[in-house]
Amino acid sequence: MSSSWGERIRLSIFGQSHSAAVGAVIEGLPAGFRVDMERLDAFMKRRAPGGPLATPRREDDRIEFLSGLAGGRLCGSPLCLIIRNADARPGDYSEFRDVPRPGHADYTSSVKYGGFQDASGGGHFSGRLTAPLTAAGGVCLQILEAREIFVGAHLRSVGGVEDCAFDAVSVSRADFDARLFSPLTVLDAAAGARMAAAIEGARAAGDSLGGVVECAAAGLPAGLGEPMFGGLENRIASLVFGIPAVKGVEFGSGFAAAAMRGSEHNDPFALRDGTVVTATNNAGGILGGISTGMPLIFRAAFKPTPSIARAQRTLSLSAMQLTELNIKGRHDPCVAVRAVPAVEAAAAVALCDALLPGNYEPLKGAE
């Protein structure tokens, strides 16, 4: 099924934007690992709605664990969690069964499911489904950190306004700790202020902005991943593309590599304290689908929020006539803002899937 993913670990996402709850089931996580609930709650708050640059929808995003934990530790059975939808307003979306919103899955889901889809808030196609993904990834982030592997992301750009980039050769946990989180996740405060102003300007004009999220993983050993269809890029990209509004993913120098020569793009091998490294990292830490031991770097491009206050042209499907649509409801002026932890979460799940063996090594969290 399209809502399930993974090999060594198995992640399934369920729920709709305005159903009673959304949730996830994760299988294959290491028994005995103690989950830090306070850290997980703080991670969820980074994605939660509300705030000056987000939708006014109010959701606590509090995780309820139904199974998989005993005494605060993973117990080996499937970890099942739910996040209740407390501020649902399905009535805001009733007209979209007949008048599909441009840029949304209203039309395609209607064709796919014969009109029986849940149209409220986009149903199972909604960004609300990134809440359980973030929760699952938050647990995986802690498992990775117990192995000295750290994942972090920031807003690389919004509406053409750019933040500093991670240093692809030397990015480390210290860079993640130095990020700012209010109101935007950035490395440079001045860039964050310009991004916030751009978002406010778009919202005041009844419009929205897109953005790019840059993510890195530091501390990965060399040798993770598989050739062909099991490569690290494949695993990560397939999960990141499950985040609504993602329209592109690139690793390392990405599309810029197409304009480079081989002599520019190739990363020369070198030794650092007896360890094989590369002098540059245009490969983004992956060669042949397998980790090189250098930092893993990728970026995800998010389209502008399709629900905007401006009038838009669409069709009445019942009348098969052109009509004008004025969208009401509550929407983010830039979905990339709250997507930063979701990108981190997707990367963490993919890396856990590549890393965890059948017989788990002792973890710091299990001591």
Q: Which of 333, 327, 340, 57 is nearest to 198 (CA)?
A: 333
Three-point CA angle 211, 239, 76, nearest 5°:
135
DSSP β-ladder status, 275-278 and 269-272:
antiparallel
Q: How many other β-carbons are positioned within 10 Å of the β-carbon of residue 65? A: 15
CA 16 to chain centre: 17
Q: Is 303 annotated as a binding residue?
A: yes
Which residues are registered as beta bridge partners of 106? none
Q: Is 102 annotated as a binding residue?
A: no
Q: Is 330 annotated as a binding residue?
A: yes
Q: Is 244 annotated as a binding residue?
A: no
Q: Is 229 annotated as a binding residue?
A: no
Q: Where are the alpha helices (DSSP H) in the chain?
A: 37-47, 106-113, 130-145, 173-177, 189-204, 232-240, 262-265, 336-355
Q: Is 307 annotated as a binding residue?
A: yes
Q: Is 138 annotated as a binding residue?
A: no
Q: Is 94 annotated as a binding residue?
A: no
DSSP for 26-42 reads EE-PPTTPBP-HHHHHH
Q: Is 156 annotated as a binding residue?
A: no
Which residues are registered as beta bridge partners of 79? 26
Q: What is the C-alpha R_g of the chain? A: 21
Q: Which of 68, 66, 93, 90 is nearest to 79 (CA)?
A: 68
Residues in the annotated binding site for NADP(+): 47
Residues in the annotated binding site: 47, 124-126, 288, 303-307, 330
Residues in the annotated binding site for FMN: 124-126, 288, 303-307, 330
